[in-house]
Amino acid sequence: MTEPLPFTPTAESAEKWLTALQKDGPKSRAHRLYRSLKALNLSSLEPASRLEVLETLRHGIYTTSEMLAAEFTAMTPPLGESARSTAKLSVFLHHELARGYERLPPDPSPFGKQRALASLAWMMLRIVQLGEPLSGSTWRRLFDHYLEGENEGWLDVPVHDPLSPAQTCTPIDSVRCILAFMAMTPMWLEAAWLPRCLLYLERNKDKITITADPSGSCWCFDPRQAKSARFLAATPDNAGNLRYLHIETKEPPELPDPIARKWQHQLDQLSSLDYQKEKRVDELWCGRECAVTELERHQRGLRRGNGEWLSVPDFELLLPDAPTGPTHGEVDSDWRRPHRHVNALLKQHRHDSAAIIETHVRLRPGGLLGLKLLDDSIVLAVVRWSRPGMFGNAGRFGLDLLPGRAGIVTAIVPGLGPGPAIHVASPKGNGALVVPQTRLKPGTSILMEENEYRIAKLLEWGDDFSAYTLAR
């Protein structure tokens, strides 16, 4: 049963209640704010009264959410059950605040819609800070607003913030910032720095655009599908409902290193001189299943020159003008295969996971990539972006490396049962686990070779795989 609203639904009464709430600790304050928002959202107030109360509570909700986040991001993942429940309050507060603004009509001003989208952005950020994947229903909620605003014409209507009268923003600004933030793969960044990343994008919202033009470096998304934007590998033959997200920030972001480095790498804003280590690559294994197969062969000791190695059905000598992968961003059976004896160069940065590879093989952004180097060492990576080569030259592809020794293990994973998985054992920790695409909560137990691990956080969510960091 929902509790009644603990104050008269006026701005003055809500302000007095909020002031009295300051004596409570963050957890107690969050619980009481959450219950009050639920009661407010179930009430039948006039829009003007609802807006007054929401605007009065809004600052206290954001402040309380930030206090909770500062506490749980300082903990080592995965969080315990009690800490996790408290941390999720920061998500639920923004969820209910957005629900309240969603009840406001977009006429005469889409002020409520803009506020709802802004709260959704912070709800999504808190989910990422918890190390969890965003659900399809969360994306659906965002894109329902986008499509509604596009159809009714309020997406581009300026809204004045009463706290900053000189500044204006539009609902589409919030959509751009959410999509840009999620496109920049925030799972790879330290959770405590993510709010500064989102605020940086909000300050530079004029440099983020959504267009129908796929030219240049951009991400694509379909608002009728509940999925994040993805880097565009090549111009699609049939664009359908696709929209294109362009991020035009050229100067280094106002963020501390190595966060700024990571973002510049995601946007391909670093020159080759920034990648100090160079290694020759002998083989590329495209896709999770291909990497699993090749790792199994490698662990059984099969090498070039061995008759069994040369007789495998998918053996190929890669020719410079041979078709090598999808032509418009879609995964197909030809892409998930090994490419042997390639003339590829891997350039790494010394201090983080940023790398680029130069090769004639067309690699798909968002895909898992296995690299076997000339010394037989193996590296796993995720492809971030692509820059096709001109006039027969090798293309450049941005990578995020999974540092550590990759090997095949039999893992017992909830929902998947026992099966082959890739364990990337890191000398600095418990490494990462690569499995078929599945949603695992932080804290979930995984059994590998009689050793028990726990899922610490989601690291990557690809088309055919998921990658998680591990804890013992």
| pLDDT tens profile 408-455 | 999 998 888 899 999 999 877 789 999 998 888 899 999 998 889 999
pLDDT of 273 over the 80 cut: no
Task: Report which of residues 165 and 277 the model is more confident about.
Answer: 277
Determine the pLDDT at residue 282: 94
Is 467 exposed, middle or buried, given 0-12, 13-18 or 19+ CB atoms closer than 10 A? buried
Q: How far is CA 78 from the centre of its chain?
A: 18
* Mean pLDDT, residues 133-150: 94
Determine the pLDDT at residue 153: 93
Q: How far is CA 293 from the centre of its chain?
A: 27
Q: Which amino acid is located at 276 in the chain? A: Q
pLDDT-derived band at 65 (thresholds 50, 70, 90) equals very high
**pLDDT tens track for 10-34:** 999 999 999 999 999 999 999 999 9
The answer to whether the beta carbons of residues 60 and 25 sit under 8 Å apart is no
Determine the pLDDT at residue 142: 96
- Stretch among 45-54, 140-149, 222-231, 297-306 having the lowest mean pLDDT: 297-306
Task: Report which of residues 431 and 308 the model is more confident about.
Answer: 431
**pLDDT tens track for 46-62:** 999 999 999 999 999 99
Determine the pLDDT at residue 330: 42
- The mean pLDDT value of the chain amounts to 86
Determine the pLDDT at residue 88: 93
Taking the CA atoms of 63, 65, 66 and 72 in sequence, report the sign of the dihedral they define.
positive
* Mean pLDDT, residues 238-245: 84
**pLDDT tens track for 70-93:** 999 999 889 888 888 888 999 999
Q: Which amino acid is located at 248 in the chain? A: E
Determine the pLDDT at residue 316: 37
pLDDT of 244 over the 50 cut: yes
Q: Exposed e or buried b for every residue in 183-212, given b needs 16+ CB within 10 A? A: bbbbbbbebebbbebbebbbebbeebbbee
- Its pTM stands at 0.88
Determine the pLDDT at residue 1: 55
pLDDT of 320 over the 50 cut: no
pLDDT-derived band at 327 (thresholds 50, 70, 90) equals very low
Determine the pLDDT at residue 166: 66
* Mean pLDDT, residues 259-274: 81
**pLDDT tens track for 452-467:** 999 999 999 888 899 9
* Helix 136-152 vs helix 111-129: crossing angle, to nearest 10: 160
Taking the CA atoms of 102, 73, 457 and 205 in sequence, report the sign of the dihedral they define.
positive
**pLDDT tens track for 92-112:** 999 999 999 999 998 888 999
pLDDT-derived band at 271 (thresholds 50, 70, 90) equals confident
pLDDT-derived band at 172 (thresholds 50, 70, 90) equals very high
pLDDT of 314 over the 50 cut: no
CA distances from 213 to 209, 220, 241, 247, 352 (A): 10, 10, 12, 13, 33
pLDDT-derived band at 317 (thresholds 50, 70, 90) equals very low
**pLDDT tens track for 183-233:** 988 888 889 889 999 999 998 899 999 999 888 888 999 999 888 898 887
Candidates 354, 358, 339; CA nearest to 403 is 354
Share of the chain above pLDDT 70, in %: 90
Determine the pLDDT at residue 315: 37
Determine the pLDDT at residue 163: 63
* Mean pLDDT, residues 143-150: 95
